[in-house]
């Protein structure tokens, strides 16, 4: 049996496996087509309806969300035209992005990772990232949602394609008290943030998004996107801090004080003054999960 003795050797082997298995299903064409329409200067509802209507499962879920208590409508939403009017282009883009990525990464729950809780954490981090971005004056809120939603996709990669290593990482954390990143690096030679960035690059996502995914645990590791990385880091931390959902992976995450400084939060008092309202925001947003799975 091959014995890999150094971290460098483990990383090399992991990279070789990644190179061979990363023929993942592409992002569904409906997402690409819908996103192209939504990102145009003047999105057209009719074109969007035509694209979304090609995927009946997507239509059903979008209508379910439009009829959810999140929007509190008295009248039932029965058409995509009305759903687009209710949701708006920005909200619709979030929903389509989330649904498409969840479908691409579809995997079974086991005792090591609850898929529902994982995607709840991902969606909440994306939603809260968008909210924080708005609060601190970050101009591209949609980019903040997507970066927040995808920040932990490396965890889904390890669970699906390196499952025995995922088990080892989990047990190492439990038995040694190591952080998630340290345990992943010990076992695989690289961590979930690096793996997520690798996947984003393979999906031809913008370099800025790949960079933020890679540095969401240590935002100052990013040279040009440290503000967005800091927003994602804080959203990730608060989602776990308030214990919305039961996502226990990396539950001992601590907030990076340097990341807070990037957001002009310099003291504990300023931090406490900044975060009121986010717990209730996360609680309301968590209601959306049942419509995303």
As a whole number, mean pLDDT of residues 16-37 equals 70
Q: Mark whether 60 and 114 lie in a shared domain.
A: no
Among 61, 94, 127, the domain-final residue is 94
Those residues whose C-beta lies under 8 Å from the C-beta of residue 135, and which sit 6 or more positions away, are none
* Highest mean pLDDT (candidates 23-32, 203-212, 240-249): 203-212
For tokens 């809260």, the residue is 128
Among 65, 94, 123, the domain-final residue is 94
Segments forming the whole domain that contains residue 49? 25-94
Q: Would you mind telling me the total number of residues written for the chain in this entry?
A: 293
> Confidence class of residue 171 from pLDDT cuts 50, 70 and 90?
very high
Which is more confident, 18 or 110?
110
* Highest mean pLDDT (candidates 71-75, 96-100, 148-152, 204-208): 148-152
> Confidence class of residue 1 from pLDDT cuts 50, 70 and 90?
very low
Among 70, 94, 118, the domain-final residue is 94
* Highest mean pLDDT (candidates 63-67, 174-178, 271-275): 271-275
pTM for the complete prediction?
Answer: 0.83
Q: Mark whether 179 and 37 lie in a shared domain.
A: no
Tell me the per-residue pLDDT of 116-159, one tens digit each, with 9 for 90 and over: 889 889 989 998 999 999 999 887 777 888 899 999 989 998 99
Any domain includes 13? no
- pLDDT above 80 for 43: no
Let me know: does 87 contact 95? Beta carbons within 8 Å. Answer: yes
* Highest mean pLDDT (candidates 57-66, 197-206, 229-238): 229-238
């Amino acid at each position: 049996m091959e014995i890999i003795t150094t971290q460098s050797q483990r990383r090399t082997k992991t990279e070789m496996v990644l190179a061979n298995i990363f023929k993942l299903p592409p992002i569904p064409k409906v997402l690409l087509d819908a996103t192209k329409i939504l990102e145009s200067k003047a999105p057209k509802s009719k074109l969007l309806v035509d694209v979304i209507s090609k995927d009946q499962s997507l239509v059903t879920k979008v209508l379910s969300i439009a009829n959810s208590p999140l929007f509190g409508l008295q009248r039932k939403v029965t058409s995509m035209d009305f759903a687009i009017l209710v949701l708006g282009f920005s909200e619709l883009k979030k929903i389509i992005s989330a649904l498409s990525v969840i479908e691409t990464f579809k995997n079974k729950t086991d005792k090591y990772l609850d898929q529902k809780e994982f995607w709840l954490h991902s969606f909440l981090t994306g939603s809260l990232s968008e909210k924080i971005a708005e609060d601190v004056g970050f101009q591209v809120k949609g980019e903040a949602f997507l970066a927040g939603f995808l920040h932990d996709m490396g965890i889904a990669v390890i669970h699906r394609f390196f499952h025995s290593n995922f088990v080892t990482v989990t047990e190492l954390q439990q038995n040694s008290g190591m952080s998630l990143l340290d345990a992943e690096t010990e076992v695989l030679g690289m961590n979930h943030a690096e793996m997520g960035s690798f996947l984003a690059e393979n999906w031809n996502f913008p370099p800025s998004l790949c960079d933020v995914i890679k540095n969401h645990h240590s935002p100052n590791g990013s040279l040009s996107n440290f503000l967005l990385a800091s927003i994602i880091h804080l959203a990730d931390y608060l989602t776990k801090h308030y214990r919305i959902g039961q996502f226990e992976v990396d539950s001992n995450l601590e907030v990076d004080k340097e990341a807070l400084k990037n957001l002009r939060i310099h003291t504990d008092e300023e931090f406490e003054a900044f975060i009121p309202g986010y717990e209730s925001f996360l609680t309301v947003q968590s209601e959306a999960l049942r419509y995303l799975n």
